[in-house]
Every structure is written in structure tokens, then in C-alpha cells.
């Protein structure tokens, strides 16, 4: 028996899932009575919850759907749609303690205290644009995947009706429970949804490999080798027409610059009980995503092999729904399809709630409180946070409609948009001379490089990324050096803040030279302020880098069996 194209068993699974998520949101609402509670959960979470929060907040259907979409058209190199973050991951181990030690509620607080109110407003504008596109990509990828699972066409009036219906239903659910419970609801549901995303990454692969059109790993390799030409190699990790080695290298350099500008960076690094929970959660939640990406890529290769051997025409429309189409075909049991559908919705909602909560916090904390009502009560700020988050979610809903023709391009756009201001975040952390004018010049220069190369001239992605980074760095340096340096006491206060561990606040009264003596400084030439890493930082960095290299090595070995 079917209802709206789905078997009743699938509906039972979905109803149970949605009721559970809404129940958690309502339950979490009871304990939210302050801004810190809504935005950071009163910093109460342990390692397990923080790992799953980081994993869930950073993993959404755009990742598997984007990987599979690009894999169908370009082969194994499609893995870099998600792995473009890969070699930025070791730096997360170094970044997390600094973010926790800022002791702020939002990333805009960083701009306001390190630079000025004007810089904070600029950050909010850019970050909101980037996160709106991010959330739009989440909604878009989820809707296309659900359409594929339901077997509903993406073309014509009927396809549009299903697109709008699915998009609306999913948006309503995550908006409601995020509105109720804030980051507490997000982190609690991320624990469940993180486990479901892991299941999503592996459950369809055994069934796919057993299909006669796929015939296991040997069948995949044999089929794709037969399709190899001088211009296309489906088994290569690098694609000359898309993810070539230079593009991948620049994307990996760009990754920490984008990540450090994320509004929800504060929650994934600072909602834990101590620095350790934030550091482990942020780093290994993302490592878990890198591992899961191997599963998404393998499923994409299975689907590509199936399409080739079943003589199915491959086009952009086929690629957009590849994830959902493969689940519908490879998982014949309705209950399993329902579980997978719930997993996909879980992935969307775990990212969507983080965006809604943290971007709402930017407006209430750094716009409303700063410029309109400095004496606002906690209750009033909570109301503004919730309403601003609702507005962002609705805006993303309409952006998803506008951008509904390409998942991969939408993902790459928000990645680049956030790096425009991420360059300033990084420069402010390591260069004492960086000032407000430098922030504006850096962001403007990066935007002036990004917009024409991406939207006017249609340059290769490597050109867009490379010129944006170079322009942003140059703009920040020139703008800062040509204008008045920041006040010495402001700079010393900030650097003491990020280098004094939590619980040792009595050191704030000491001079910076005592808090961070010259013997502990690694690089100070030209106004730089880079401190020697602790043994924990150094060992953790190299271990994380080794894991990243092992993931790439494992994928390479899989493709060369």
C-alpha cells in the first residue's frame, strides 16, 4: 500500500523519526533561559556529544549528494566535493583551543573585540550570505535526494510540485525544533542524527555491490577502465576538467579559511565542558566525515557502473538525483528505504539547526544588542535570536528554489563566500598589525577577485580560489600598513585572552610578555605573533594529518585493486 508514492512502512519510519526530533526540541526548550544557554548550551557537553555535534553540523545531504552527482559525471575525482576540506582538518586541532579561549558567544564578538563594531557588522553580512547559501544547498540536496528515492521526476510541472512540497515539509520540521531548543536541541539531535548519517554512509553499499550490473569491486573497475579515454579517467582521483591537482591543492588551502569564518564555529569548539572536549569534538567529528566520504564515493561509483551497464543516458538531471535514485534501486525493502530517507533528513536537519541558531545569535547579540537595545533582557534577546534564525531559514528556502539546478555549484559557492572574510579572521589571530581597515580591504579585495572570476568570466575553480586568497591577503596587508595601527592595549588584551587557558583568568592582569614570554614565541617578525605549539598541539596535528593521508591512501588503493 502506498501514499504519495511512498510505501506505508516508509511513512511509519518517517513519522516516528519526526516525532522523536520534535519531542527532543520541546524537551530541550525547558532548560533554555539565556543567550549562553541557547547559543552554547551552557558549555555542558562531553566528548561524545561534541564529536557528533561537529560531525552533524558539518555533514548534510549536500555532501553525499554532491559527491555522487560529481562522481556520475566525472568519476572518482568527485570525492573532492567533500574532501576539499581534507587537509584543512589538522589545523582544526590547533584552532579549537583558541576559539574556546576567546570566551565569546559568537564569532562576531571576535571581530568586535579584536577590531571594531564596523568589522563585526561586515562579518555578519558576509557570514549571513555564506550561511544562507549553505542552508540553501542543504535544502536543495535533500529535496533532490528525496525526489530520487520517491521516484518522482525532477522535470516539468509535476517535478516542480514535488520539489516544492518536499522542500516545504522538511524546512518546517527543523525550523520548529531549532526554534524551540536552540543549540541544546541541535546537539542532542546531532547525537542521534550523527549515528544515522554513519548508517547512511554504509548501509546501501553491500546491496549495490551485489547487483549484477555492478558485480562487486572487480566489476566497477573493469567497467570504468573500459570507459577510459585520453580526456576522461573515471578511476583517477584527479580530473583535468574539474578537480585537477592544482584545484584540489587550493581548495585544501582555502578550507581552514572558510571553516574559521563559520558562525557555528563557536558552538562546535566552545560548547564542551573544557578545551579538550572542543578540540577532540571539532577535529574528530570532521575526521569521521572524511571517512564516511569514502562510502559516499564508493556508492557513487556503484551507481555510475550501474548506469553504464544498463545503457542509461547520463546527463546533469540524472546526476542531480543520483543519491536518491541509487537508494531506491539498491535498497528494495521499504523499511530500509524509510531508514535511509530518515538518515538523509537527519543529515539536513543537523546542519540546518546549527545555521538557524548561530546566525540568529549574530543578529541578536551583535546587531540588536549593540546598536538598538544594549540593556535588553535575556528573554528579549532570546526572542530576537529565534526570530532572526527563522528569517534566515525562510530566506534559504527561497534561495534553494532559485539555485535548484546545481547542487555542486551551490556547495562550492558557500565555501568560497565564507573564505572572503575567513582570511581576515586568520590574519587577526596571527598578525598584530591587522586592523579594521585591513579587514575591509581584505574582504573587498577578495570579493572583487571572486565575483568576476566566478560569475562573469566563468574561470576554472583554481583561478577563482587562488586569486581570491591572494587578493584577500594583499588587501589586508596593504590596508593595515597604510593606516593607523590598533591600540597596543587592545591587541595585548586580545592575545592574552586567546593564550590564557580556561580557569587561569587571573593571568589577565599580567603583561603579555609574562603571559607569553619570548621563549614561547615561534615567529614575531613583521608584527606576527605565532606561539610555539604545545606537545599536545604538535602531536595531535601530526596524528590528524596522518589519518587524512591514510584516508587518501585507502581510496587510492581501492581504485587500484
Rounded (10°) angle between helices 216-226 and 275-309: 70
Rounded Cα distance between 111 and 98, Å, is 14
**Given this model, what pLDDT does residue 162 score?**
74
Strands 6-7 and 521-523: unpaired
Site of grid cell 575553480: 461
Residue 403: predicted pLDDT: 65
Which residues on adjacent β-strands are paired with residue 7? 2
Query: 2-408+539-559 is classed in which CATH architecture?
Result: Up-down Bundle (1.20)
Q: For the whole model, what pTM was predicted?
A: 0.83
Position 529 scores a pLDDT of 94
In 3D space, the residue among 312, 427, 372 whose CA is nearest the CA of residue 72 turns out to be 312
Ranges of residues in the chain with a pLDDT under 70 are 1-6, 18, 21-45, 56-58, 61, 151-160, 173-174, 176-197, 200-201, 230-231, 317, 346-347, 349-351, 353-354, 403-415
**pLDDT at site 349:** 67
For residues 271 and 41, the answer to whether their CB atoms sit within 8 Å is: yes
Sequence ranges of the domains in the chain: 2-408+539-559
Q: Which residues contact 381 (CB under 8 A, 6 or more apart)?
A: 35, 364, 365, 368, 369
Through-space distance between the first and last CA atoms of the chain, rounded to whole angstroms: 44
Measured between alpha carbons, how far is 203 from 340 in angstroms, rounded to an integer?
8
The angle subtended at Cα 548 by Cα 450 and Cα 54, nearest 5°, is 70
| Sequence-ordered list of residues with C-beta below 8 angstroms from that of 330, at least 6 positions apart, any chain | 204, 207, 208, 211, 302
Per-residue pLDDT, 193: 60
Q: Give residue 65's pLDDT.
A: 80
User: pLDDT at position 313, please?
Assistant: 81
| Distance (Å, whole) CA 39 – CA 32 | 9
- Residues 233-254 have pLDDT tens digits of 899 998 877 788 888 888 888 8
Amino acid at each position: 500500500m502506498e501514499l504519495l508514492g511512498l510505501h506505508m512502512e516508509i511513512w511509519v519510519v518517517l513519522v516516528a523519526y519526526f516525532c522523536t526530533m520534535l519531542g527532543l526540541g520541546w524537551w530541550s526548550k525547558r532548560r533554555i533561559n539565556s543567550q549562553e544557554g541557547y547559543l552554547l548550551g551552557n558549555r555542558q557537553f562531553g566528548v561524545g556529544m561534541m564529536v557528533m555535534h561537529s560531525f552533524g553540523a558539518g555533514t548534510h545531504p549536500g555532501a553525499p549528494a554532491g559527491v555522487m552527482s560529481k562522481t556520475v559525471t566525472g568519476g572518482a575525482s568527485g570525492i573532492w566535493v567533500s574532501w576539499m576540506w581534507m587537509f584543512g582538518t589538522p589545523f582544526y586541532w590547533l584552532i579549537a583551543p583558541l576559539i574556546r579561549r576567546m570566551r565569546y558567544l559568537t564569532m562576531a564578538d571576535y571581530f568586535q573585540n579584536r577590531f571594531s563594531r564596523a568589522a563585526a557588522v561586515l562579518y555578519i553580512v558576509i557570514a549571513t550570505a555564506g550561511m544562507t547559501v549553505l542552508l540553501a544547498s542543504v535544502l536543495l540536496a535533500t529535496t533532490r535526494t528525496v525526489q530520487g528515492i520517491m521516484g518522482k521526476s525532477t522535470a516539468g510541472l509535476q517535478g516542480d510540485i514535488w520539489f516544492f512540497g518536499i522542500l516545504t515539509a522538511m524546512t518546517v520540521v527543523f525550523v520548529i525544533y531549532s526554534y524551540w531548543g536552540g543549540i541544546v536541541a541541535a546537539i542532542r539531535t546531532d547525537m542521534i542524527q550523527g549515528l544515522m548519517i554513519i548508517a547512511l554512509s554504509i548501509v546501501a553499499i553491500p546491496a549495490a555491490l551485489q547487483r549484477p550490473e555492478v558485480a562487486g569491486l572487480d566489476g566497477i573497475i573493469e567497467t570504468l577502465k573500459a570507459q577510459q579515454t585520453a580526456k576522461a579517467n573515471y578511476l583517477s582521483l584527479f580530473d583535468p576538467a574539474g578537480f585537477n591537482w592544482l584545484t584540489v591543492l587550493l581548495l585544501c588551502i582555502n578550507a581552514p579559511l572558510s571553516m574559521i569564518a563559520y558562525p557555528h564555529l563557536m558552538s562546535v569548539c566552545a560548547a564542551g565542558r573544557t578545551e579538550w572536549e572542543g578540540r577532540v569534538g571539532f577535529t574528530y567529528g570532521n575526521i569521521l566525515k572524511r571517512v564516511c566520504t569514502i562510502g559516499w564515493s564508493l556508492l557513487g561509483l556503484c551507481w555510475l557502473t550501474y548506469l553504464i551497464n544498463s545503457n542509461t543516458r547520463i546527463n546533469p538531471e540524472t546526476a542531480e538525483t543520483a543519491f536518491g535514485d541509487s537508494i531506491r534501486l539498491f535498497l528494495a525493502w521499504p523499511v530500509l528505504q524509510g531508514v535511509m530517507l530518515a538518515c538523509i533528513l537527519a543529515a539536513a536537519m543537523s546542519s540546518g539547526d546549527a545555521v538557524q541558531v548561530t546566525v540568529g545569535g549574530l543578529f541578536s547579540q551583535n546587531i540588536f544588542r549593540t546598536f538598538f537595545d544594549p540593556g535588553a533582557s535575556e528573554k528579549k534577546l532570546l526572542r530576537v535570536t529565534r526570530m532572526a534564525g527563522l528569517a534566515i531559514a525562510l530566506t534559504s528556502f527561497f534561495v534553494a528554489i532559485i539555485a535548484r539546478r546545481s547542487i555542486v555549484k551551490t556547495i562550492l559557492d558557500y565555501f568560497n563566500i565564507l573564505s572572503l572574510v575567513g582570511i581576515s579572521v586568520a590574519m587577526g589571530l596571527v598578525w598584530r598589525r591587522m586592523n579594521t581597515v585591513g579587514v575591509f580591504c581584505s574582504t573587498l579585495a577578495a570579493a572583487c577577485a571572486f565575483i568576476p572570476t566566478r560569475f562573469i568570466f566563468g574561470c576554472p575553480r583554481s583561478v577563482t580560489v587562488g586569486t581570491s586568497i591572494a587578493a584577500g591577503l594583499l588587501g589586508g596587508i596593504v590596508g593595515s600598513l597604510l593606516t593607523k595601527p590598533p591600540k597596543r592595549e587592545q591587541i595585548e588584551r586580545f592575545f592574552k585572552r586567546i593564550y590564557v587557558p580556561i580557569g587561569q583568568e587571573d593571568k589577565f592582569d599580567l603583561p603579555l610578555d609574562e603571559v607569553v614570554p619570548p621563549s614561547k614565541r615561534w615567529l614575531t617578525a613583521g608584527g606576527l605573533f605565532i606561539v610555539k605549539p604545545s606537545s599536545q598541539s604538535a602531536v595531535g596535528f601530526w596524528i590528524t594529518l596522518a589519518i587524512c593521508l591514510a584516508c587518501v591512501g585507502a581510496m587510492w588503493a581501492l581504485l587500484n585493486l
